[in-house]
Amino acid sequence: MESKEIAVVRDFIAAINQGNASQLSSLMTEDHTFVDSRGKVESGRENMTTGWKGYFRMFPDYRIDIDTILQDGNLVAFFGSAFGTYNGNRGLVPENRIEMPAAWKAIVESGKIKVWQVYADWTEGWKIIEEDKEKG
């Protein structure tokens, strides 16, 4: 049987994969913290709900696929891949498709995600976004 912490993480991933910012919001603590792959920190449920809405506009088909999940108490680490199509100047064209291996860390507190941290190499993704800006 899966732990409560892993179940919350799976629900959070399902909300991401559905592009459902309001469901994500309901799964965040009030003082939720997001750390992106460059180490930039954003905090607050309201702020991050707005951030996810913007991200879903940029990558309307964004998805996370998980291969492995590890848990240590309220810390859940998971590994897999992230992918989506950048909705830039060229629109949702195959050339704007980004896919990368990634890892995430979540800290679960009282049945909600307190910390969500992403580890991924966005080098190719930034190239695609810059190319879209130049050619769009």
CATH of the domain at 95: 3.10.450.50
Stretch (H or E) spanning 65: strand 63-72
What percent of the chain has pLDDT above 90? 93
What gap in Å lies between CA 26 and CA 82, rounded to an integer?
22
Q: What are phi and psi of 79, to 5 degrees?
A: -135, 140
Average pLDDT, whole number, for the chain? 96
Residue with tokens 């879209």: 132
Instruction: Cite the DSSP H helix spans in the chain.
Output: 4-17, 21-26, 45-58, 123-135
Stretch (H or E) spanning 113: strand 112-120
What percent of the chain has pLDDT above 70? 99
Report the domain count for the chain.
1
Question: What does the pLDDT read at residue 134?
Answer: 87
Question: What does the pLDDT read at residue 136?
Answer: 65
Q: Residue 97: which domain range?
A: 4-135
Contact indicator for 86, 96 with CB cutoff of 8 Å: yes
Residues 8-57: pLDDT tens digits? 999 999 999 999 999 999 999 999 999 999 999 999 999 999 999 999 99
pLDDT at 97 over 80: yes
